[in-house]
Homo-oligomer: A and B are copies of this chain.
Amino acid sequence: MNIEMIRAAQTRLAGVARHTPLLGSPFLDEIAGRRVWIKPECLQHTGSFKFRGAWSALSALDDKVRSRGVIAYSSGNHAQGVALAARMHGVPAVIIMPADSPRLKIANTRTYGAEVVLYDRATESREEIGDRISAERGLTLVKPYDDPQVIAGQGTTGLEIAAQAAEFGITQADVIVCCGGGGLSSGIALALAADAPGLRVRPAEPEGFDDAARSLREGRIQRNERLTGSICDAIVTPQPGELTFPILKDRAGPGLVVSDDEALRAMAQAFNRLKLVAEPGGAVALAAALFRTDEIEGDDVIVTISGGNVDTDIFARALATLDRPE
C-alpha cells in the first residue's frame, strides 16, 4: 500500500468519479471558532465516497476475473458504490446487506441492478455468507475497506483535499474524516503524507462505536462491544481493518467521538448552511468540528461529509434540532 497506488487509482477514476469541491460557510466558521472547510462526498456518484473505492477495485481487476462478477457486504454505501461500478463495467454484482439497513440504500442498490441478500447484523457473519456465495459463483469479493485498491480509491479524496487546501493557502490543519473500517481515513492519511504533510487525519466516530479512537489510544486494534443501536449505520464496523489500522497508527492524530444528537445537529447545519444532505454517519466529522472545538487545534479545520443516503424520518429528526431552544 503506497502513494503510487493512490495516484494510479486517480488516473483510473479520472472522468468517472466526481471531483468534489471544497466548501465553507461564515456561519459554520462562527460556530467552530475557526475556518471550517467541507469536502462533500455526499455529492459523489451514489451519494458517498464509496464509489471511488469500488471503481478503483473493479477497474484494477483482470478482465476475465471481473466478467464473472463481484460480491460485496455493506450496510449500504459500499453496496451502492459496487453496484454502480459493476453496472458501469457491465458485470453482475451480489450485495450482502444487513436487514436493518436504511430502506433507501437497499432500494437504490437493487435499482443499480445488483442482487441483494439480506442478513441479521446481530446473529450472522456477513463474511461467512459472502465467502460461501463467492465460492459458489466464482465472484470476486470487493471488501468494504481492507483491500489495497479500495483504500487507494478512497485515497483519491485525499489527493483532492491536498490540492484544494494548497489553493486556499491552508498548510496546517486537522482533516477530520468519518471513520468506519478506516478505508477513507487511511487512504486520505497516505495521500496527505505525500502531498500535504502539514495536514493530519483525525478519525471521527459515534459514541459507543469508537473502535478507531480506542485502538489509536491503545496502540492496537480494539473491537466495539456492540454493532447495533447507532443512527450512524454507515460507519459502524466491528473494528479497524488489518490494513487500515497500521496506516492510521503511523499517521493519524487522536480520534474524535460525537453523540448521535451532535451528528443530527451537524446534519441540520449542513442543510441550513451548506444546502447539503448528510446522513448521520456522514456528519460525524462536521459534528466534531462544530461541537468538539476544544479537541482541535489550528485556525483551519477540514472535514469530510462522507455520505448523504438518509431516510426521511431520520432527516426530519435532524431538522427538528433547528427549532430547539439553544
Contact = CB atoms under 8 A, between A and B. Distances in A.
Contacts of A312: 319-320, 322-323
B275 A47 contact: yes
A220 interface: no
Nearest to A45: B25
A262 B228 CA distance: 38
A91 to B, nearest CB: 17
A181 interface: no
A111 interface: yes
Interface residues of A, number: 32
Given A316-B319, A319-B316, A322-B312, A43 B23 contact: yes
B322 A42 contact: no
A118 interface: no
Given A312-B322, A319-B315, A319-B316, A43 B111 contact: no
Contacts of A21: 18-21, 43
Contacts of A27: 108, 111
Contacts of A323: 312
A84 B26 CA distance: 10
A76 interface: no
A26 to B, nearest CB: 8
Contacts of A40: 275
Contacts of A18: 21, 23
Contact of A275 (B112, B276, B320): B276
A276 B27 CA distance: 18
A98 B111 CA distance: 44
Nearest to A316: B316
Interface string A287-326: 0000000000000000000001100100110011011000
Nearest to A308: B275
Interface in A213-263: none
Given A21-B43, A23-B43, A275-B308, 17 more contacts: A19-B21, A20-B21, A21-B21, A26-B112, A27-B111, A42-B275, A43-B276, A47-B275, A271-B277, A275-B276, A275-B278, A275-B309, A276-B276, A276-B277, A312-B319, A312-B320, A316-B319
